[in-house]
Amino acid sequence: MPNPSVISPEANFLFSELSSYLKREDVSELQNAYLFSQSAHSGQFRQSGEPYISHPLAVTGILGKLRLDTQTLTAALLHDVMEDTHVSKAEISDRFGNPVAELVDGVSKLDKIEFQTHADAQAENFRKMLLAMARDVRVILIKLADRLHNMRTLEVMRLDKRRRIARETMEIYAPIANRLGLNNIYHELEELSFRYLYPTRYRVLSKATKAARGNRREVVTKILDAIKQRLKLSGLDAEVTGREKQLFSIYKKMADKHLTFSEVLDIYGFRVIVKDVPSCYIALGALHSLYNPIPGKFKDYIAIPKANGYQSLHNTLWGPFGTPIEVQIRTPEMHRIAEAGVASHWLYKSSDADLNDLHMKTHQWLQSLLETLSDSTDSLEFLEHLKVDLFPGEVYVFTPHGKILALPKESTPVDFAYAVHTDIGDCCVAAKINGENAPLRTKLRSGDRVEIITASHAKPNPAWLNYVATGKARSHIRRFLKTMQYEESAKLGERMLNQAFSSLKVDLQTVSETQWEKIARESGAKSKKDLLADIGLGKHLPAVMARRLTAHPGESLAATNGASDVITILGTEGMAVQFAKCCRPIPGDSIVGFIKKDQGLVIHIQDCPTIAKNRGGADNWLDVAWGKGITRQFEVSIKILVANQRGVLARVAAAIADAGSNIDNVVMDGEGAYTTMTFMLEVRDRHHLAQVMRGLRRIPEVARISRMKG
């Protein structure tokens, strides 16, 4: 066993490399951290058989290449001691300072908390990690380096564990690295994930690429020489390099475009680095005079940088022998940011405006994560929002004042509204795209100019959840709906409890606050209002709760049967009262209420076929009746059998419109002489429905008409 007080040759080599940019006292501090970590991990080994200290040393080496500061490198050496040894956060703080202790704590997993599933545990880990990351971005840099080394040594793991870790890396860590502009780490994580997720595909593609490499070497050399020569003739001093595309990039192209390997011609890319921005555009013109550009393939990320700060000109050209070649043109500063992203702050100490802008964008993204985190009720929901926000594809749209906003692909005006400000999203009622009115579900495209129209009385619509693309929009809409449901459920719960109290001949107002608090506590609710909301959502039976609230010590809590009052249904109760989809009750129908857990009160028609089997639990059924003066529209389904004749659908639709009803949906089925039409209509009540059906019966082609129930 190695002596824990001796620095290994590998560690000495690393400290020698780090001394190229760190002060002597900083290297000495790292040596102390190494010895501390080595002692803490003494006797521990990785699954490969290596001493455990080899892992934190490798992680520190990855971060050293980004020239990160001493605190980050110290935390990297110590990043597993809290999780895998008996060392406490306080001990790290006393020995190496509070900033280092905070970094180590941010990276550590939550192993000491019990979770129901692995998914819950992982989601909570991400939640904690990103909370720490929002305070200090260096947390995620350590975590990414940690994951990169684990991926490099993944072959020693069991097959199922390999696949799980690779999938997690592909879905979360690689996109985070991309979002932070850590290009090299991003591509390596993607490549390693592909290797372990699809080992057979990886092997086949690797073999095919090696075979093609020899055949194409001559072509690549020819293109490289031609580009250098043309740029020289244009008076540009440029550094030109050719690179082979990564296997995962080739695989993704094959999968997305349904191509075979032989059809993916551009497996090589070329990078041109010139001295300044004007030279980038001169180089672009020079290359266009050498090879024809492919229409629609030019992207100007200099004028409109990516959200992670990345800048370059991208273009695809027709090379010799009809081979498409991809070219990136950038300046040395752009290249530094492209390689190191947010870490370029430490890599290149400068007051560069681009770097400051990049850090501002990163800070804004992290703050939006914090906002989403506070809005999400559980870790899995937060993880879902995070995955949405990590989509690599982006569209760039303009505000009315000309400011550019980067949004994920598939974003809509609602996403845009929430990206501008939460209040604008909440009050959004309409949108104009490029000066013309457009539906809120319209997919935005790069270059669109978007204007949001708001109204003070407006509120988020549940239907928005079907088409919003950003985690921020989804999280705010859900939070609003949960709050609205809570308020409505509490009001409904109070009405249901009032009904139960009436049957006991007791006034609800006579229950003391002390009794409310006691029963709420015993029922797992935080307050009286929470208890009422739980009753409205069907988590507690109102009759049983009424008995508990009025019971004296030792008295039986047997539920009362029957009720003297009925609950009035107005149709304006919102999410707390639902109308059953099976029978679709409308005012005028004889109705009954069923308390369904977590859904509240569900209203059925009394003769609905689907409720017969649920009649058993008498306490779950409530007497309900329609209120007066109901003005809203209700959905109802009707089935019409019509003779198959030209124009019959138009005549049926016209008759429905003449009766003042709106068609939500229509389904047609049938061949030969007759067709069955099933309509979903909006009506006020039974009287209105009868009026619609009378109008339809006057059409000669209508053979039979009926309302659908159950």
Q: Residues with catalytic annotation?
A: 83-84
**89: its two tokens:** 């956060």
Amino acid identity of 638?
A: I
Distance CA 37, CA 7 (A): 11
Q: What is the DSSP letter of 169?
A: I
Count of C-beta atoms within a 10 Å radius of residue 675: 18
Residues 6+ apart with CB under 8 A from 666: 649, 653, 677, 678, 679, 680
Backbone angles phi, psi at 547, to 5 degrees: -65, -40
Q: Tally Cβ neighbours within 10 Å of residue 20.
A: 8
Residue 292 makes CB contacts below 8 A (sequence gap 6+) with 317, 318
CA distances from 686 to 500, 679, 691 (A): 30, 16, 9
CB-CB neighbours of 19 under 10 Å? 13
Give the integer Cα–Cα distance in Å for 382 and 131: 11
Task: Please give the torsion angle defined by the CA atoms of residues 262, 266, 267 and 273, in that order, rounded to the nearest 10 degrees.
Answer: 170
Cβ contact 319:291 at 8 Å: yes
Q: Is 44 in contact with 87 (CB distance < 8 Å)?
A: no
Structure tokens that stand for 31 in this block: 């040596």
Centroid of chain to Cα 338:
25
Q: Kindly compute the dihedral angle of the four CA atoms of residues 478, 479, 484, 489, in this order, to the nearest 10 degrees.
A: 90
The amino acid at 570: L
Q: Are the CB atoms for 332 and 312 separated by under 8 Å?
A: no
Question: What distance in Å separates the CA atoms of residue 186 and residue 175, rounded to the nearest whole number?
Answer: 7
Closest by Cα among 500, 625, 493 to 564: 500
- 395/337 Cα distance (integer angstroms): 21
* Percentages of the chain per state (helix, strand, coil), in multiples of 5: 55, 15, 30
Cα–Cα distance for residue pair 295/281, rounded to 1 Å: 17
Q: What sign does the CA torsion over 304, 307, 311, 317 have?
A: negative
What residues contact residue 413 under an 8 Å CB cut-off, 6+ apart? 428, 431, 433, 438, 440, 442, 444, 450, 452
Q: Are strands 577-579 and 600-605 parallel, antiparallel or unpaired?
A: parallel
Q: In degrees rounded to 5, what are phi and psi of residue 577?
A: -120, 125
Cβ–Cβ < 8 Å for 702, 654? no
Helices (H), 331-431: 332-340, 344-347, 353-375, 379-389, 413-420, 422-426
User: How many Å apart are CA 480 and CA 489, to the nearest integer?
Assistant: 14
CA–CA dist 56, 14 (Å, integer): 12
